[in-house]
Every structure is written in C-alpha cells, then in structure tokens.
Amino acid sequence: MKVSLFGATGALGSECLRQAIEAGHEVTVLARSPSKLPAELRERVQLVEGDALDADAVARAIPAGTEAVLFAVGVDSKSPEDLCTDVTRHILTALRAAGAGRFVWCGGGSNLLPKDVVTFGAKFVKFFATTFMGLRQRDKEHQLALLTESRDVAWFGIRPLQMNAGPQRSDYRLGYHAFNGFSKIHFTDCAHAMIGMLDDDTWLHEAPIVQY
C-alpha cells in the first residue's frame, strides 16, 4: 500500500514508520529535519522536506496514488495552538483533491466520546488533561470535532492514555472499554493498532480507546 506518514520523527511516528516498512508498505514521509530519521529507515522511504503547517508541503507529501495517511504528530508545550487540527485540515484538503484513501490518526483518551464507559477514572483523566495539558487537550478536541464533520473521508482513529516505551505485546484492547489514569499502552502497540487500520474497516469513523 502507498502510505504517507506525518510525525515520523517522534516516538510514536518512528514506530509507525518502522512497522509500515516491515509490513511492505511504500512510505512517503514529510519531515522538517529529515536527518532526525534513522539512517537505515531514511534510505527506504520517499522523503519530502517541509513543514506540515504548510499546505503546499502537505500536498507534496500526499502524491497521486496515495492510499492512506498515518497521522502521528505530537504536541508539547512549545507547539503552536491547534497544531494537530491545522495539519489535519491540510491533510483532508489534500486527500480530497487527490481522491485518495483513508486517514488513520492518533488522538487522546482525555477526549471523551458518547460510547465511552465514563467512570470516575475517565473523568479524572479529562480533568487532569484540561488542567495541566490544556494546549494538547484543546487541540485534540478541535481535531476530533473537525474529523467528526468530515465523514466524506474514510478516517479511523485510536485514543491512547499513557504512552511509554516498551516491547510490542500485541495483546492490547481496542474498543470503548472502561479506563483511568493508570491505563497505558506502549508506543509499539499503539503503532501496531494504527498499521492494522490501514486495511481493516472495523473502526470507520470511530476512535476507540487503545490500552492493555
């Protein structure tokens, strides 16, 4: 499959890149600093140098024939307001123009959905994110709202809680299960879930929680 990846130099994105290549996908990567990609992977992808906030750069990173886009862009305290939302808007525009395929993205478990089992733990997760991670929380809420309005695009999402480094276990849960602030997932398995959505329509226009 011909896949474009955004956020390839981050902890989650680098796992998405490695697993996509290992699965035999043809990958195009947009990166501001291509040198940050591992040399052994850099040689196996089509590289487009540029900023994902630049609509033209995004369009160049989604060439004709692209079948799917993987979104693993991360947000930190130095990120501009609505980074993920604005990049997603550019991607959706490019996908529509190219008549391309699906969009697989990573959101956050602090964005509660109607199908969630909303326990005290889930409410605490949202409270914590809103209070101490306001920039990220607002961005993910706006990104989710944008996608909810974009049902003409085949999008698929996952919402992890605590993500950390660790070996791939492949025994995680994906669905609207109860969760709390201690729920976690390794970057490797979060990437595995996203790669699985490249050819699985189960979660069309859905964003289930991913956790162990």
At residue 76, the pLDDT reads: 87
- Rounded Cα gap, residues 127 and 49, in angstroms: 38
pTM value is: 0.96
At residue 13, the pLDDT reads: 97
70 class by beta-carbon count within 10 Å (0-12 exposed, 13-18 middle, 19+ buried): buried
- Rounded Cα gap, residues 142 and 148, in angstroms: 10
**CA nearest neighbour of 161 among 176, 181, 191:** 181
At residue 77, the pLDDT reads: 83
Structural domains of the chain ordered from first start = 2-211 (3.40.50.720)
At residue 141, the pLDDT reads: 96
Residues (pLDDT < 50) of the chain are none
At residue 98, the pLDDT reads: 84
- Per-residue CA distances from 74 to 44, 90, 204, 205 (Å): 23, 16, 22, 21
At residue 89, the pLDDT reads: 98
Q: Give the tens place of pLDDT for each residue, 123-179.
A: 999 999 999 999 999 999 999 999 999 999 999 999 999 999 999 999 999 999 999
